[in-house]
Amino acid sequence: MNSLSLELAHALPEAILALGAVVLLLIGAFRGRDDDGPMTELAVVVLGAALVAVVLGGHRPAGVVFDDAFIDDSFGDFMKGLSLTGSIVVLLMSGGFLRQSGVDKFEFPILVVLATLGMLMLISANGLIALYLGLELMSLSLYVVAAISRDDARASEAGLKYFVLGALSSGMLLYGASLLYGFAGSVSFAGIAAAIGGHPNMGVIFGLVFLFAGLAFKMSVVPFHMWTPDVYEGAPTPVTAFFASAPKMAAVAVSTRVIMTAFPGAVSEWQQVIVFMALASMALGSFAAINQSNIKRLMAYSSIGHMGFALVGLAAGTEAGVKGVAVYMAIYLVMTLGAFAAILSMRVNGKAVEKINDLAGLARTNPAMGFFFAMLMFSLAGVPPLAGFFAKFYVFMAAVDAKLYWLAVIGILTSAVAAFYYLRIVKVMYFDEPAPAFDRPSVTQRVVLAVSSLAMLLFWIYPAPLVDAAAAAAHSLF
């Protein structure tokens, strides 16, 4: 066993977040006031320091530390970078919004830091116990932030619903984990893979299905998506933005790692599960969103659909597939953050509005915002040459290479259906009679919207950095 300091060097981003969260908590407690004050900025500094540690630590050789519980590799670094970026941007965008909505609590940024710590631990988990603890740390923080606006009945309902269903899914995950441990005799992913060999028995399959049920809940893929629309609609918008961005990265990352490192010997068993989830999510994400009038609810169905597309790459089970998933998640993150920057700035006379009809005529009342938002919608729909198209391209190509032709075909068909409701928003913004104009958005919201939109628009000029990083990340799993 290495010395503790050597092992901690591999977990430097986690250590920074853990210490930072405790220090922030102490500062908050000793300030003796409930309001947010400088806490959001301090939390951003902590998350930023962890992001720097992830980026600078990228050259380290991969390492498995803490007695097989924790793995530090470039796949983890890639996904951790995405998670941290999501949390930082959400915090930067949310400060003013929460203050205006009367939910001004210093615990919110601390809970975001703790949730991000859970995500990082989840991404780096190399065994079932570490996976469960990371997942619980992330979920517990998310349950609380979902209900943080506790005087609002809808937010409380969202928090309670998410908590009850989340606890149930944790139970299923634990049941699956115990079965896996019972039949494989090991909690580490490598140990499980070695025990399964090429012949998984019934107990292992049983455990695998339950484990995926728990993970699918966190990814919000069909049939474990029921909580998503209600929670997205009920929670305060910054919280919804957070739900849609950072935790998804961690959930997809850990699912990918589990599949690739623990079940390489049970391909046909996990593949049918993942293929079903991908198909059902793509279909539901496309059809159920058509009738929505609330933009947050629409984004919930949109995220379910996008998770389905990401799972197409995972279903391929190849290195190209994992690369596709990594690219997809990165582009999805940028699109989601940009879209939520626009949704956060939907305010009329200081009051937040969230109907799609409130966007009517945006192209005339605020041409820049209308244009950027429209570009993001095109990208979410997957219109070439925007980045969203390339994201889908990589996962569908991986599926075709893995001979999952019909999965790719259905994916393309459902994305054509999904394009309808994204384009409807563009139509509402450009061709409908103007609704009351929005207030001027905050600087960070404008910057996030413009940067993400331009990044999606100009991605095709220079995609190499992202694609290469994703390729390196995928390679480290094989």
Partner 1 sequence: MTLATAFFYLFSIVTIASAVMVISARNPVHSVLFLILAFVNAAGLFLLTGAEFLAMILVVVYVGAVAVLFLFVVMMLDVDFAELKQGFLQYLPIGMLVGLIVLVELITVIGVWSVAPQAALSTPTPGHMTNVEALGRVLYTQYVYLFQAAGFVLLTAMIGAIVLTLHHRPNVRRQNIAEQNARTRASAIEVKKVPSRAGV
Chain residues that interact with partner 1, rule: CB under 8 A: 1, 4, 7, 11, 18, 21-22, 25, 34, 65-67, 69-70, 105, 107, 110-111, 114, 117-118, 121, 129-130, 133-134, 136-137, 140-141, 143-144, 147-148, 150, 159, 179, 182-186, 194-195, 201-203, 206
> For residues 392 and 418, what is the distance between their CA atoms, to the nearest angstrom?
13
Spatial separation of the C-alpha atoms in residues 441 and 89, rounded to whole Å: 15
Q: What are phi and psi of 297, to 5 degrees?
A: -65, -40
Nearer to partner 1, 122 or 279 (CB): 122
Write the DSSP assignment of 409-474 as a string of letters: HHHHHHHHHHHHHHHHHHHHHHHSPPPSPPPPPPHHHHHHHHHHHHHHHSGGGS-HHHHHHHHHHH
Q: Between 67 and 468, whose beta carbon lies closer to partner 1?
A: 67
How many helices, marked H, and strands, marked E, lie in the chain?
Answer: 21, 4
| Residue 143 or 373 having the CB closest to partner 1 | 143
- Based on CB atoms, which residue is closest to partner 1, 136 or 354? 136
Q: Between 69 and 282, name the residue whose CB sits nearer to partner 1.
A: 69
Let me know: does 79 contact 473? Beta carbons within 8 Å: yes
Tokens (6 digits) for 382: 């997957």
Amino acid (1-letter code) at residue 88:
I
Q: How far is the CB of 156 from partner 1 (least distance, A)?
A: 9
Cβ of residue 21: shortest distance to partner 1, in angstroms?
A: 8
Distance in Å, CB of 301 to partner 1, minimum: 28
Contact 54, 214 (CB under 8 A): no
Residues 286 and 280: their CA atoms lie apart, in Å, by 10
| Best CA proximity match to 274, nearest among 324, 336, 219, 202 | 219
Q: Whole-number minimum distance, CB 80 to partner 1, in Å?
A: 16
Cα angle for residues 66, 191, 78 (degrees, 5° grid): 60
Instruction: Output the smallest distance, CB 144 to partner 1, in A.
Output: 4
Q: How far apart are CA 329 and CA 470, in angstroms?
A: 10
The answer to whether the beta carbons of residues 315 and 324 sit under 8 Å apart is no
Q: How far is CA 366 from CA 183, 343, 346, in A?
A: 60, 14, 11
Compare residues 110 and 363 and give the one whose CB is closer to partner 1: 110
With beta carbons less than 8 A apart as the criterion, state whether 145 and 108 touch: yes
Backbone angles phi, psi at 197, to 5 degrees: 65, -130
Q: Tell me how far, at minimum, the Cβ of 370 lies from partner 1, in Å.
A: 38
Q: Which is nearer to partner 1, 195 or 419 (CB)?
A: 195
Least Å distance, CB 202 to partner 1, is: 5
User: Closest separation between CB of residue 173 and partner 1, Å?
Assistant: 14
CB of 300 to partner 1, least distance (A): 23
Longest CA–CA separation in the chain, Å: 69
User: d(Cα 166, Cα 430) in Å, to the nearest integer?
Assistant: 40
CA proximity to 86, closest of 245, 315, 234:
245
Least separation in angstroms between residue 184's CB and partner 1 is 6
Nearer to partner 1 among residue 124 and residue 336 (C-beta): 124
CB of 317 to partner 1, least distance (A): 24
Q: Which SS3 state, helix, strand or coil, does residue 124 take?
A: coil
- Closest to partner 1 by CB, 45 vs 194, is 194
| Closer residue to partner 1 in complex, CB, 66/378 | 66
Residue 46 CB, nearest approach to partner 1 (Å): 14
Residues counted in the chain: 478
Closest distance of CB 58 from partner 1, Å: 21
CA-CA distances (angstroms) from residue 377 to 133, 278, 421, 456? 36, 22, 9, 10
Nearer to partner 1, 124 or 345 (CB): 124
User: φ and ψ at 65, to 5 degrees?
Assistant: -125, 180
State how far the Cα of 268 lies from the Cα of 402, in Å rounded to an integer: 12
* First-residue to last-residue Cα distance in the chain: 25
